[in-house]
Amino acid sequence: MMGAATMTEPAIDRHTLFEFLLRMGDNTLILGHRLSEWCGHAPALEEDIALANTALDLIGQTQLWFGLAGEVENKGRSADDLAYLRDAYEFRNLLLAERPNGDFGKTLMRQFLFDAWHYLCLQALLGSSDRRIAAIAEKVSKEVAYHLERSRDLVIRLGDGTAESHARMQAGLDDLWPYTGEMFIEEAPDAALAAASVAPEPSSIKAEWHSLVAETLSEATLKKPADGYMHKGGRRGIHTEHLGYVLAELQFLQRAYPGATW
């Protein structure tokens, strides 16, 4: 087991690899939790089920990323420990993932902006020099292809829908746009990750993301906002106030009753 793991480990230090795996898992955990908040509240039964299923996929993917993160860190922390027993400053998710749900349209817009990035990122990770990361990417990219197909379809349908749905989609887009720039910003570990061919440089998927988003927004008759100030910091642990509320709910049980199982 250890022998096999050593063989597939690229030349990169443990801590940098751990940070990268947290980024992936924190994105899927926090967005998965946000989507689960919709359970029982969506405007139609089918959409309620679809949101819950997407949340389930994302939380399942989190287990894969955190499972490997715990193994790489080698301090005996399980996927559950990483999800339930870290504080906000230790989370590495994009700020976009923690944005409040808003209305159904805004949730779908957030999902589309994220899915487009997620899908392209996973495509690049298929070629990761770390075979464990490539294996997870191979598994989850198939699920994410369905997420992207659905969120893109709905952004077009609602954007090019009624005056009301169009206005809501445009408002959601305008609100979320300043949180998209962070996806492509280089942070400290990125150069090392790219040099070891573990993960792509964030900027390398920017052009394709912009083209997919521009094409979709155009079909949706929505206006792409101008690139102004972009919020950042999530991947360094500097979050908006919203993450604390997410964690309060997500982690309550394990904090109040440490080690509780069911």
Which residues of this chain interact with another protein, rule CB under 8 A?
Answer: 46-47, 49-50, 53-54, 56-61, 63-64, 119, 123, 131, 134-136, 138-146, 148-150, 152-153, 156-157, 212, 219
Please identify, using beta-carbon distances, which residue of 88 and 148 lies nearer to another protein. Answer: 148
Q: Helix/strand/coil (H, E, C) string of 161-172?
A: CCHHHHHHHHHH
CB of 55: closest distance to another protein in angstroms?
8
Positive or negative torsion for Cα 119, 114, 117, 163? positive
CB of 164: closest distance to another protein in angstroms?
19
CB of 20: closest distance to another protein in angstroms?
18
Please identify, using beta-carbon distances, which residue of 32 and 189 lies nearer to another protein. Answer: 32
CB of 93: closest distance to another protein in angstroms?
17
Burial environment of residue 103 by CB neighbours within 10 A (0 to 12, 13 to 18, 19 or more): middle
CB of 41: closest distance to another protein in angstroms?
16
CB of 87: closest distance to another protein in angstroms?
25
Token pair belonging to 34: 């946000």
Torsion of CA 88, 130, 144, 20, to 10 degrees: 20
Please identify, using beta-carbon distances, which residue of 35 and 246 lies nearer to another protein. Answer: 35
Please identify, using beta-carbon distances, which residue of 135 and 192 lies nearer to another protein. Answer: 135
DSSP label of 226: P
CA dist 151 to 4, 144, 155, 187, 217, Å?
38, 10, 6, 28, 12
CA 48, 98, 32: angle at the middle one, nearest 5?
Answer: 40
Please identify, using beta-carbon distances, which residue of 17 and 156 lies nearer to another protein. Answer: 156
Q: Which residue has the tokens 């400053």?
A: 89
Please identify, using beta-carbon distances, which residue of 56 and 171 lies nearer to another protein. Answer: 56
Neighbours of 241 (CB within 10 A): 8
Q: How many Å apart are CA 165 and CA 104, to the nearest integer?
A: 10
